[in-house]
Amino acid sequence: MERVNFQEIEKKWQLKFSSQKLYNSKGKKFYCLEMFPYPSGKIHMGHVRNYTIGDVVARYKFMKGFNVLHPMGWDAFGLPAENASKQNNLHPKKWTNQNIVTMKTQLKMLGLSIDWDLEISTCDKDYYKHQQEIFIDFFNEGLVSRKETYVNWDPIEKTVLANEQVIDGKGWRSNAVVERKKLSQWFFNITKFSNQLLNDLDNLDGWPEKVKLMQKNWIGKSYGSEINFKIEKNKDEVKIFTTRPDTIFGASFLALSIDHPLSKNFKDKKDFQKFQEECNKTGTTEEALANAEKIGFDTGLFALHPLIKNKKIPIFFANFVLMDYGSGAIFGCPAHDQRDFDFAKKYKLEIIRVVSDGDTQKDLTEAYTGAGKMINSDFLNGLDVDQAKKKIIQEIENRKLGKRQTLFRLKDWGISRQRYWGCPIPMIYLEDGSVVPVDKSELPVELPDDIDLNSKGNPLESHPKWKFTKHKSSGKKAIRETDTLDTFVDSSWYFLRFCSPEHKSSPFDIKKVDYWMPVDQYIGGIEHAILHLLYSRFFSKGLAKCKKNFSLSEPFKNLFTQGMVCHESYKDIKGNWLYPDEVEKLDPKTVVKRDDKSKVKVGPPESMSKSKKNTIDPEKMIKEYGADAVRWFILSDSPPEKDVQWSDTGVASANKFLQKIWNLNILISNRKENRVTKNVEEKFVANINTYVDKVDKSIENFRFNVSIANFYEIYNFIKDYLSSEISNKVLSENIIKIMKLMIPFAPHLSNECLELFKCKNVNKWPEIDKNKIIDEINFAVQINGKTRDIIKIQRGLGEKEIKDIIRKNSKAKKFLENNDIFKTIFVQNKIINFIIRNK
């Protein structure tokens, strides 16, 4: 049999794909978008998976008659470019552009149906110019503000570190202990939309429930109360926020953030400074704070309990209270909150139970956070927690001790980055201290190329020619903002730019956006479930506020989050990571190093990453097995939302199967006519129609692994018909249907096969007669819930007819004889269950 030269046919069809687009001007619009890649060097298997899934959707929708927008671009600003340029002494722009060229070539090798005329790159000044415009619009609309916040500071490199650059509390290059440093930075006021971002989740029917839940928890709306505590021998008051006002009678201390206004009174005290230094050793991430030991500083002050006469409780500063949540102060109720419990144990504070867990005699070993009746709580006694919450809030409001309050966990979005390779923030500082936007006519504020990457900190700081400027309208001297924007800003509106990438006068052509948006299917990694998606949602809402004719409130109608591509990892005797290429599998349990045959330790499959060297190069795989085989395998092995394990034998078998498909097509095209029996042909067509229906459904449901299993079944099915009494006409008509179904999965081979049969209307999805599908089904016969027989019946048979069949001829017959049928459960087209007992 003729071998397929996959490389040759792929080259041929890729040339055609490059000019063929997915537009059907008469069809309904369909915007298919995959998260655009960061140009890090070469594409990785995660990209292959993401873009193959997207390509299946785009090609499928196109074949179904939709007018499909399927663009691609580059999330081109970011930290790795700066790191790489320091290592290789290569300018970030050059490094990035080289990577884009490489990756674009590689993506084309996959045979993706992308309209490359729409390509955009976020580091392109034609792109970020518009981003600066949007920033200024947001600024004018009151959606931008300046606040102080903490950053990771490397005291040796004199630079701000990203969280990933902090390893065990130390700088990744300098190894210096990282300090927390306060900086004044720019913020998008995303919290202005907290309620809207939360409530609109309910309208996103096309989003996975888990992503919506994660966003909901991230926004974190909680109901509680503000309570004022008077300080003894002092005129000050401390305002606290709590979600558990019901536990107020169990309060045994107040804890304040070290940034609480009250800290000013202590700033000159040496032991407080020491405490502050101690706190600044913990990182800036929530995880670090949560895991850090709870420490406090006793102010020596006491607060007066608002509801218990003459009760005084101590006031502490504590590292686990955050200034940006609530009022930066809490009351501690150790009996019913684990953090408070740990704190109370450490500082020997009172532990008063106010919610009964049933046994109130024995000492608590941990906080009790469950439900129960109130005790030791004066007028709340006997109520359950929810009732007590309502009553106490009412009481607090009546006595003017505080008020009911709703709070969000969501924080404003800090967008300042002390880095070079990002979009410049279009703001200037005037001599008189005022801060104003750059005049729009001067945009873009272009990133200068001539920078010294080896300078300490942000290179823009040490670029006087760029940094010193003038305010256009007043002519006053000014200094540019040297911070650049968080790269999440770049990706918060790129999907809008894709609708009209050439548009010059504004970020997008509103008519085009009106037509194409929202994105009908957005596809990307689950790791973006919160930040990127939330920020993009915020952008839509922000733009709607700035632009009168912009009405889009949610950018992504349907969302699909795919799983990761995994591979086992290998370590040699010395503990060095090895690439899969460097090892050899002698048998499933023995793996050795290829060169010296020394033992290799095999790690569990985990997400492919450069640091663990458990990566497989897609380009190498494409060259060895063909793009269709790589696409085929990446879709076949796991459902797309789950992780998939890369397997070389898997891709090899995909390649073999595609070869068999080609052979089958050749056999059919060369087949000698046989005798024809009408029944045989009808049964054949009915089966094919059933398969077409199945594949269609599995694509609609994103069950691409099931689609592929169907193709294996179809192959086994058709192969058996080659020698049966069926005409060549019927065979070729039906193999054409199947090859069309395969286009989204293996576009090169299926087009080649369709060409073999001189097929016209290649890109039209096969239509089937729904009346001509298999209507025989397997029906389970159960006795007392146990399956005793499976009978083949016509779809739609009633209970009586089925009982007759069973009585006449069934393995279950013997169970029914000599027994009373006590009850019968009948489910049409599924099962019948006889509940019997002995006579």
Partner RNA sequence: GCCCUCGUGGUGAAAUUGGUAGACACAAAGGACUUAAAAUCCUUGCCCUUUUGGGAGUGCCAGUUCGAGUCUGGCCGAGGGCACCA
Binder to RNA among 202, 268, 287, 366 (CB under 7 A)? 287
Candidates 79, 544, 602, 759; binder of RNA (CB under 7 A) is 79
Residue 241's beta-bridge partner residues?
Answer: 226
Nearest CA-CA partner of 422 in 190, 132, 102: 132
Taking CB under 7 A as the rule, does residue 713 contact RNA? yes
Nearest-Å Rg of the Cα atoms of the chain is 34
Q: Which of 43, 69, 109, 161 binds RNA (CB under 7 A)?
A: 161
145 binds RNA (CB under 7 A): no
Q: In the complex, what is the shortest distance from the CB of residue 348 to RNA, in angstroms, rounded to a whole number?
A: 22
Toward RNA, which CB reaches closer, 287 or 595?
Answer: 287
3-state helix, strand, coil in the chain (%, to 5): 40, 20, 40
Choose between 121 and 521: whose C-beta lies nearer to RNA: 121
Site for RNA contains 571 (CB under 7 A): no
Closer Cβ to RNA, 277 or 527, answer by number = 527
Among 52, 106, 299, 416, binds RNA (CB under 7 A): 416
Interface with RNA includes 209 (CB under 7 A)? yes
Within residues 53-72, the interface with RNA by CB under 7 A covers none
Minimum CB separation of residue 414 from RNA in Å reads 5
Sequence-separated (6 or more) residues with CB below 8 Å from residue 817: none
Identify residues 751-810 at the interface with RNA (CB under 7 A): 777-778, 780, 782, 784-788, 790
Closest CA to 750 of 633, 657, 658, 832: 658
What's the min distance (Å) between Cβ of 18 and RNA? 26
Establish if 290 lies at the interface with RNA (CB under 7 A).
yes
Smaller CB distance to RNA: residue 540 or 569? 569
Q: How many residues bind RNA (CB under 7 A)?
A: 95
Cβ-contact 294, 330 below 8 angstroms: no
Evaluated on CA atoms 733, 738, 742, 744, the torsion sign reads: positive
Q: For residues 89 and 716, which CB has a smaller minimum distance to RNA in the complex?
A: 716
The nearer residue to RNA, 91 or 230, going by C-beta atoms, is 91
Distances (CA, A) of 584 to 285, 566, 579, 599, 602: 41, 19, 11, 10, 11
CB 350 within 8 A of CB 314: no
Return the range that interacts with RNA (CB under 7 A); candidates 19-27, 212-220, 253-261, 666-674.
212-220
Q: 455 to 484, contacts with RNA by CB under 7 A?
A: none
Residue 323 interacts with RNA (CB under 7 A)?
no
Q: How far is the CB of 620 from RNA (least distance, A)?
A: 19
Report the nearest approach of RNA to the CB of residue 47 (Å).
Answer: 10
User: Which of residues 113, 487, 521, 750 is near RNA by CB under 7 A?
Assistant: 487
CA distances from 375 to 114, 231, 352, 359 (A): 66, 26, 10, 12
Span interacting with RNA, options 57-65, 360-368, 456-464, 819-827, rule CB under 7 A: 819-827
d(CA 689, CA 673): 23
What burial letters (b/e) apply to 677-688, b meaning 16+ CB within 10 Å? eeebbeebbbbb
Counting beta carbons within 10 angstroms of the beta carbon of residue 270, is it exposed (0 to 12), middle (13 to 18) or buried (19 or more)? exposed
Q: How far is the CB of 554 from RNA (least distance, A)?
A: 19
3-state secondary structure of 158: coil
Q: Is 650 near RNA (CB under 7 A)?
A: yes
C-alpha count within 13 angstroms, C-beta hemisphere, residue 447:
28
286 in contact with RNA (CB under 7 A) = yes
Helices (H), 3-124: 6-19, 45-63, 79-88, 92-109
Nearer to RNA, 14 or 782 (CB): 782
Is 284 near RNA (CB under 7 A)?
A: yes
**Which string of x and - marks every residue 499-538 that binds RNA (by CB under 7 A)?**
---------------------------xxxxxx-------
C-beta of 60 vs 249, nearer to RNA:
60
Nearest approach in angstroms of CB 294 to RNA is 11
Does residue 518 have a cis peptide bond before it, meaning omega lies within 30 degrees of 0? yes
Instruction: Please tell me the total number of residues recorded for the chain in this structure.
Output: 839
Contact status, residue 461 vs residue 416, Cβ threshold 8 Å:
no
For residue 306, which of 403, 372, 406, 384 has the smallest C-alpha distance? 403
Query: Peptide bond preceding 444: is omega within 30 degrees of 0, i.e. cis?
Result: yes
- The distance of closest approach from Cβ of residue 830 to RNA in the complex, given in angstroms and rounded to an integer, is 3
Give the three-class secondary structure for 331. strand
Site for RNA in 217-276 (CB under 7 A): 217-218
Please name the residues in contact with 658: beta carbons below 8 A apart, sequence gap of 6 or more.
Answer: 4, 6, 626, 628, 629, 632, 746, 749
- Give me the sign of the Cα torsion angle 621, 522, 194, 371: negative
The least distance separating RNA from the CB of residue 439, rounded to whole angstroms, comes to 27
Sole binder of RNA in the list 373, 417, 497, 612 (CB under 7 A)? 417
Query: Cβ of residue 334: shortest distance to RNA, in angstroms?
Result: 16
Looking at 163, 203, 394, 506, which residue binds RNA (CB under 7 A)?
Answer: 163
Nearer to RNA, 380 or 628 (CB): 628
CA 273/CA 293 separation, integer angstroms: 18
- Helix residue spans in 265-409 (DSSP H): 270-279, 286-291, 338-347, 385-398
CB nearer RNA, residue 617 or residue 643: 643
Taking the complex as a whole, the smallest distance from the CB of residue 497 to RNA amounts, in Å, to 16
Residue with the two structure tokens 């952008």? 539
Alpha-carbon distances, residue 794 vs 684, 777, 797 (angstroms): 17, 6, 6
- Confirm or reject binding of residue 195 to RNA (CB under 7 A): no
Could you say which residues in the range 101-140 bind RNA, by CB under 7 A? none
CB of 331 closer than 8 Å to CB of 248: yes
- The residue range among 194-202, 356-364, 706-714, 754-762 that interacts with RNA, by the rule CB under 7 A, is 706-714
Closest by CA to 336, choosing from 347, 344, 328, is 344
Q: Output the smallest distance, CB 724 to RNA, in A.
A: 15
- From the list 145, 285, 506, 598, which residue makes contact with RNA (rule: CB under 7 A)? 285
| Amino acid (one-letter) located at 759 | C
What one-character-per-residue DSSP string does 420-480 give?
A: SSSPBP-EEEETTS-EEEPPGGG---PPPS---TTSSS-GGGG-HHHHEEE-TTT--EEEE
Contact range with RNA by CB under 7 A, out of 64-72, 329-337, 415-423, 514-522: 415-423
- Segment near RNA (CB under 7 A); pick from 140-148, 329-337, 673-681, 820-828: 820-828
Tell me if 366 contacts RNA by CB under 7 A: no
Task: Tell whether residue 717 is a contact of RNA (CB under 7 A).
Answer: no
Instruction: State yes or no: residue 590 binds RNA (CB under 7 A).
Output: no
637 binds RNA (CB under 7 A): yes
Q: What is the b/e burial string over 293-307, where b = at least 16 CB atoms within 10 angstroms of the residue's CB?
A: ebbbbebebbbebbb
Cβ proximity to RNA: between 92 and 766 the closer is 92
**By C-beta, is 430 or 797 nearer to RNA?**
797
- Print burial letters for 485-500: b (CB count within 10 Å at least 16), e (below 16): bbbbbbbbbbbbbbbb
Would you count residue 87 as binding RNA (CB under 7 A)? no
* Binds RNA (CB under 7 A): choice among 4, 114, 120, 151: 151
Closer Cβ to RNA, 209 or 449, answer by number: 209
CA 317, CA 274: separation in Å to the nearest integer?
Answer: 12
Which of 453, 666, 706, 793: binder of RNA (CB under 7 A)?
A: 706
Cα angle at 221 between 216 and 227, to 5 degrees? 165
**Site membership for RNA, residue 604 (CB under 7 A):** yes
Contact between 169 and RNA by CB under 7 A: the answer reads no
> Is there binding between residue 831 and RNA (CB under 7 A)?
yes
